[in-house]
Chains A and B, each alone.
Chain A
Amino acid sequence: MTRISALSNTLLWVTTLVALAVTIFPFYWMLNTSLKPPVEVFASPPTFVSAHWSLGAYETIFRTRPVGRYFVNSVIVAVGATALSVSLSALCAYGLTRFFPRGATPFVMFLLFTKMLPETLLIIPYFRLMSDLGLLNTYLALIIAYSSFALPFSVWMLIGFFRSIPREIDEAATMDGASILQTFRKVVLPLARPGLVAVALFTFLIAWNSYVWALVLTTDSSMFVMSVGVANMVGEYRVQWNELMAAAVVAALPVMVLYAFLERHLVDAITAGAVKG
Chain B
Amino acid sequence: MHRRSLILSLIAAALAGATGPAAHAQKQPIVLQWQTANLTESQYEPVWKRTIAEFEAANPGVRIEPVLVARKDHWTKFVAAAQARKAPCIVSVDLATAAYNGYLLPLDKFFNAEPIEFRRAWNEGILSAAKWDKKLYGLPIWGGTYAEIYNRDLVVKAGLDPEKPPRTFDEYKAWAKKLTGKDQWATAVLGGKTDTTTRVLLTWIWGNGGEAFNADMTEATFAKNPKSLQAIKYYLAFAKEGLAAPSPTTTNYLEQTNLFAQGKIATMRNAYWAVPKVVGDNPAMKGNIFVAPNPVNVPNAPTLSTMTASSISHSCAHPEAAWKFIKFDADRKWAIERAKVANWMPLRNDLANDPDVKADPMLAQFIKIGTNARSYPLPSPVWADIAANDIVDAVQKALLAPEKTDDIFRELDVRLTKKLRDI
- Whether A232 pairs with B68 at a CB distance below 8 angstroms is yes
- Whether A237 pairs with B342 at a CB distance below 8 angstroms is yes
- Is A119 an interface residue, CB under 8 A from the partner? no
- Is A238 an interface residue, CB under 8 A from the partner? yes
- Whether B41 pairs with A235 at a CB distance below 8 angstroms is yes
- Is A136 an interface residue, CB under 8 A from the partner? yes
Question: What's the nearest-Cβ distance from chain A to residue B246, in Å?
Answer: 15
Chain A interface main SS type: helix
- Whether B41 pairs with A236 at a CB distance below 8 angstroms is yes
Q: Which of A44, A127, A219, A240 is the one whose CB lies under 8 Å from B88? A: A219
Contact A220 B65, CB 8 Å, known A124-B80, A136-B86, A238-B42: yes
Q: Compute how far the CA of A224 lies from the CA of B342 in the bound complex, rounded to whole angstroms.
A: 26
* Per-position binary interface string of chain A over residues 108-147, scored 1 when its CB falls under 8 Å from any chain B CB and 0 otherwise: 0000000000000001100110011001111110010000
Contact A240 B70, CB 8 Å, known A127-B83, A136-B86, A181-B3: no
Q: Which of B22, B35, B71 is the one whose CB lies under 8 Å from A137? A: B22
Q: Which residues of A contact B77 (CB under 8 A)?
A: 215-216
- Is B58 an interface residue, CB under 8 A from the partner? no
Q: Which residues of A contact B70 (CB under 8 A)?
A: 215, 228, 231-232, 234
- Whether A138 pairs with B42 at a CB distance below 8 angstroms is no
- Is B43 an interface residue, CB under 8 A from the partner? yes
Q: Which of B22, B72, B281, B342 is the one whose CB lies under 8 Å from A138? A: B22
Of chain B, the residue at the smallest CB distance from A211 is B73
Interface residues of A in 226-266 (CB under 8 A from B): 228, 231-240
* Per-position binary interface string of chain B over residues 77-96, scored 1 when its CB falls under 8 Å from any chain A CB and 0 otherwise: 10111011010100000000
- Is B122 an interface residue, CB under 8 A from the partner? no
Q: Which of A221, A239, A240 is the one whose CB lies under 8 Å from B254? A: A239
Segment from B11-19, B102-110, B164-172, B290-298 that makes contact with A = B11-19
- Whether A237 pairs with B273 at a CB distance below 8 angstroms is yes
Q: Which residues of A contact B126 (CB under 8 A)?
A: none
Question: What's the nearest-Cβ distance from chain A to residue B191, in Å?
Answer: 18
- Whether B15 pairs with A128 at a CB distance below 8 angstroms is no
Tell me how many residues of B have a C-beta within 8 Å of chain A: 47
- Whether B283 pairs with A39 at a CB distance below 8 angstroms is yes
Q: Which residues of B contact A139 (CB under 8 A)?
A: 18-20
Q: Which of B66, B71, B73, B282 is the one whose CB lies under 8 Å from A221? A: B66
Q: Which residues of A contact B83 (CB under 8 A)?
A: 124, 127-128
Q: Compute how far the CA of A215 lies from the CA of B261 in the bound complex, rounded to whole angstroms.
A: 32
Q: Compute how far the CA of A44 lies from the CA of B356 in the bound complex, rounded to whole angstroms.
A: 38
Q: Compute how far the CA of A73 lies from the CA of B86 in the bound complex, rounded to whole angstroms.
A: 23
Q: Which residues of B contact A220 (CB under 8 A)?
A: 21-22, 25, 65
Q: Which residues of B contact A138 (CB under 8 A)?
A: 18-20, 22
Interface residues of B in 30-74 (CB under 8 A from A): 33, 35, 37, 40-43, 65-73
- Whether B43 pairs with A237 at a CB distance below 8 angstroms is yes
* Per-position binary interface string of chain A over residues 71-110, scored 1 when its CB falls under 8 Å from any chain B CB and 0 otherwise: 0000000001000000000000000000000000000000
Q: Lowest 10 A-B CB distances belong to which pairs?
A: A137-B22, A140-B18, A231-B70, A235-B41, A128-B84, A131-B84, A127-B80, A139-B18, A219-B67, A138-B19
Q: Interface residues, chain A, CB within 8 Å of chain B?
A: 38-39, 42, 44, 80, 123-124, 127-128, 131-132, 135-140, 143, 181, 215-216, 219-224, 228, 231-240
Please, could you name 21 A-B residue pairs with CB atoms under 8 Å apart, sorted by A? A39-B281, A39-B282, A42-B258, A42-B261, A127-B84, A128-B83, A138-B18, A140-B15, A215-B77, A216-B77, A219-B35, A220-B21, A221-B67, A221-B68, A231-B70, A233-B40, A233-B42, A234-B40, A236-B37, A237-B276, A237-B342
